[in-house]
Structure 1
Amino acid sequence: MPLILPAKLIRIVFAATAMLLFAWLLIRLPVLAEPQPALDDRHTLLEKSLSVLEIDKEIVRIQEQKAQLLLAKTDTEKQLKLQEQQISDKQDEAGSILRAYYMGERDFLFTALLSFDSLSDLLQMIDYAEFIFTYDKHTLDTYMEQYKKVQEGYKQLETRQDELTAIEQQLHTQRERVLELEKQLEEQLAGRSDADRLRLLMKELTSFWDSAGMNEVKQYFRELSKAMQKLPSWVQENKQLLEIKGFQYTIRVPENDLNTFLRDQNEIFNHFSFQFTNDKVIAQGKRDDMEIRIAGHYTIENDPKNGILFHVDELLFNGFALPDTTRNALEEEFDLGFYPDLIVSFLKAESVEMRDGELMIKLSLKL
């Protein structure tokens, strides 16, 4: 005989089941309502902490430049005062000589030369006149030379002041950047349950970058700079890379050939490779738990000399992007340019492009 439960008992069982289900949902809801911070949020915070460290270094560098400029400006001012004193001593004398010629006070020399009684008197008068003219010329030349130095001194002082103004602006800009980044970090960390852990990760990342990462990046840039100095000779030795059609020269460097060349130069490039794509150069590698990625482009420059210069558009260390200040500092410290006149002295670069795994440089004759 089937068991028939009273309606009241069924309602009680149903209510109890519903309560258990609701309690289970309450346990689950906090997880749904407060998701753990996304990994990309943590990545952004860590990246900002790295930027703060690097921009702080840029501020120190700018402050050092400012101190050097102030010393140079002070030295220029001292030299200018000395030059002004020297020119003051000669100014009256030069003015007297000019007035003498203007007022005709030197006319007696010409009269004396035309009224001589003997050849010996004429020769003696010529010597006397030559002495006076030479002395006058020397005095005027000295005055003009000192005057030019004073004018150059003023120009140097003006240049120093302009440089100092620009440095002050850079300093202000970088300080504002650091303050804004620090403000953003504090706002984003506020109220986070993992704030302490993130602060520890930031400290570990910046410490690792400062103690090992930057040295690793600089080592790559240093060895790349050395290799680029040997690249023209390598192109000369590998004639298949150079095409000549009339007066048009084209250098084609496949990325595989370039990577082979670099690995022949230094074993550090065994863990590093170049790619050419869409007018971009991408170089990346990993060694000793440090992964580096550099992306950039080439431009043709003619000042101070014709060459193909490399510009760093992106620098990643273990996936974290470094700020523009770090990229610019590396560009200034290491020359990764390519200079065609080291292949043939009468050649200059006209264009450069990267596509389909190949670097193509078009050259023409210097006119």
Structure 2
Amino acid sequence: MNTRIKIAICTLLTLMVMLTSIYVPTFAAPSPEENQILQDSLSIVEIDHEIERISQEQQTLLQRQQELRSSLADQQEQMNLQRKRAGVVLRSYYMGERDKLLSVVLGAKSIKQLLSLYDYYLLLISHDQDVLQEYESNYQFMRKTEQQVAQATVELETVKTNLLAQRQRILLLQSRVNDGVNASENPETLRKLIGEMTAYWENVGVYEVNKHFKALAQAMQDLPQFIQQQQGAMVTNGKMITISIREEEFNRFLKSESELFNHFNFSFVQDRIVVEGQQGTMKLRVEGHYTVENEPKNSILFHVDRLVFNGLELPDTTRNKLEKDFDLGFYPQQLISYVKATEVHALKGILEVKLELSFK
């Protein structure tokens, strides 16, 4: 075997051992108080990422606002010139100057003179129309830019408010963590555990959770086809169609889509969907629910209500990001083009969707 290949393999094995030893928690199960401190610490990490994202969004909006205002200033300067030109045209009509010109045309003494004067008259009228049309077009464009500036300003204020709220939230959590650590019987051990759990989440947990949500999003694209293949899954009653997805069928479908789901189980309980499982050192529990949405189009969207990683519940910022990054929705019109969803219910062991025929 080539010496370089041997060195590469040894290096890779060493890194794998290091990752395993560094990122997998090795302490005994924490007490409820310590577990709360660990959960708060993980929330701080995640909210800190959200603050970073919001700060970047703020900078983007600020730059956009500045560009729009600069563009608006240029447009207003051009509008002043256009307004003067349009004023001259309108004044000429108001004063009857174009009527006098028409009289001259009509008073031509020869056909040749008439045609020449008429061509000139049409050219002048056409120029007048171009001036007025250009003024109207520029005015509408300027109004649109003004609206964009106003919208960017509102969005920027919303982002600023959100940023301040998240910063306040992280300060309160940090204070609670500090108090908890200081009150602990073994602060240094607890700090080490916090560092280890945080490193494990950022280096392994985030990747694994994203991988599973991505696989689930991809599987949901094939759900309409799966439903069509299930005998008795769709029942029609007049203009209403009821889809019933049984828990065991849904689990079988997901396992056929990806081996990742061999270690997880999806449960339909009253008004909730629960996902729970373990793969290696990662334990994951997700609770959520479906809602019918009509904007931007009719769909059944999944909302993450709880996300628990290795016994630690992650904050709403993490849940919201997962919802934004991965589409776990179901789109009825991929199943039947002329229907729309009206209701969705999670019952014990069954997910029920009601569709209505719609030819609009």
For the criterion TM > 0.5, the same-fold answer is: yes
What's 2:272 paired with?
280
Identify the residue that residue 8 of structure 1 maps to in structure 2: none
Aligned counterpart, 1:249: 241
Give the corresponding residue for 1:364: 356
Provide the rounded CA distance (Å) in 1 between the counterparts of 2:340 and 2:143.
37
Residue type at the aligned position of 2:329: G
Alignment of 1:37-186 (within 5 A): 39-186=31-178
Aligned letter for 2:226? W
- The equivalent residue for 2:287 is 295
Tell me, yes or no, if structure 1 residue 314 matches structure 2 residue 309. Answer: no
Bigger drift between 276-285 and 73-82 goes to 73-82
Determine the C-alpha separation between the residues in 2 that align with 1:73 and 1:104. 45
State whether structure 2 residue 191 is matched by structure 1 residue 199.
yes
Deviation readout 1:35-63 (Å, 9 max, x if unpaired): xx982111111111111111111111111
Paired position in structure 2 for 1:347: 339
Q: Any idea what the Cα deviations from partners look like across 1:68-98, whole Å, max 9, x if unmatched?
A: 1112112212221222232222221111101
- Which of residues 249, 256, 259 in structure 1 aligns to 2:251? 259
What is the deviation of 1:239?
4.7
Moved over 4 A (4+): none
Gaps of 5+ in 2: 1-28
CA distance in 2, matches of 1:347, 1:193: 62
The 1-side partners of 2:264 and 2:338 are apart by 34
CA–CA distance in 2 between the matches of 1:297 and 1:172? 30
Cα distance between partner residues in 2 of 1:255 and 1:101: 77
Task: Give 1:220's aligned residue.
Answer: 212
The CA distance in 2 between the partners of 1:249 and 1:113, in whole Å, is 73
Give 1:106 shift.
1.1
CA distance in structure 2 between the partners assigned to 1:38 and 1:289 by the alignment: 16
Deviation at 1:319, TM superposition (A): 1.1
Q: Distance in 2 between matches of 1:171 and 1:298?
A: 29
Residue 165 (structure 1) shift: 0.5
SS of equivalent to 1:240: coil
Query: Which amino acid letter does the alignment assign opposite residue 39 of structure 2?
Result: E
Offset at residue 357 of structure 1 (A)? 0.7
Does residue 228 of structure 2 align to residue 236 of structure 1?
yes
Of the structure 1 ranges 173-182 and 125-134, higher mean CA displacement relative to structure 2 is found in 125-134
Instruction: After superposition, give the CA deviation of every residue in 1:167-190 in whole Å (9 maximum; x if it has no partner).
Output: 111110000011001111122222
State which drifts further: 243-252 or 306-315: 243-252
- Deviations, residues 198-236 of structure 1 (Å, cap 9, x unaligned): 111111111100100011110111111111112122223
- Uncovered stretches (5+) of structure 1, i.e. residues with no partner: 1-36
Give CA-to-partner distance per residue, 1:295-352, whole Å, 9 cap, x none.
0011111111110111100000011100001001111111111111111221110000
CA-CA distance at 1:113 after TM superposition: 4.0
Q: In 2, distance between residues paired with 1:263 and 1:52?
A: 34
TM-score of the two chains, using structure 1 as the length reference = 0.87
- Structure 1 residues 278-303: Cα deviation after superposition (integer angstroms, max 9, x where no partner): 11011112101101111001111111
What is the identity, as a one-letter code, of the residue corresponding to 1:312? V
CA distance in 1, matches of 2:335, 2:118: 61
Alpha-carbon distance in structure 1 between the residues aligned to 2:34 and 2:315: 17
- CA 1:38 to 1:229, structure 2 compared with 1: closer, same or farther past 3 Å? closer
1: distance between equivalents of 2:184 and 2:264? 39
SS at match of 2:90: helix
Q: CA deviation at 1:365?
A: 2.1
Q: CA deviation at 1:116?
A: 3.4
Larger Rg: 1
